[in-house]
Structure 1
């Protein structure tokens, strides 16, 4: 599955423990990443400072559903299920 352009759910729903530019402690789940543009696109895409976890994310129907709203719910659920 290809990412839905303009979705951005993967930049909102999950926590990111890796430091990001301007977010040295990462970001908590449910918080919008500072690098998500108003068009819902990653402004760090293709840049070396983009966290490896972000680059490794692969869109999948099981994780992303069929809409941004569904993706935020599903990714949030996966976040809760895998929290240590």
Structure 2
């Protein structure tokens, strides 16, 4: 699956613990990345400054669904369940 241009769900829903230009402490889940422009496109796409976790993300219908809003819902849900799982396994 190719990313849907202008979706941006992967730049909003998940938390990112690594530094991002303009967000030195990363970003919390649900917060829009400062590198996401008004058209929901990553300003760091293809650049070495882009965090490794972002570069490693691959669009897939299981996590991106069929629409931008479905992607945001699915990725938000995944963030929540993995956060809960990580917290309970400690």
**Could you say what secondary structure the match of 2:36 adopts?**
coil
In 2, Cα distance between equivalents of 1:55 and 1:79: 18
CA distance in 2, matches of 1:46, 1:60: 19
- What residue number does 2:60 align with? 60
Q: Partner of 2:24 in structure 1?
A: 24
Using structure 2 for the length normalisation, give the TM-score.
0.90
Q: Answer with 1 or 2: which has the greater Rg.
A: 2
| Match status 1:36 vs 2:36 | yes
**How many Å apart are 1:39 and its aligned residue?**
1.0
Q: Deviations over 1:26-47 (max 9, x none)?
A: 0001100000011110000111
Q: Which runs of 4+ in 1 moved over 2 A?
A: none
State the distance in 1 between where 2:59 and 2:71 align. Answer: 10
Root mean square deviation of aligned Cα? 0.6
- Give the unaligned 5+ runs of structure 1: none
Greater share of residues in helix = 2
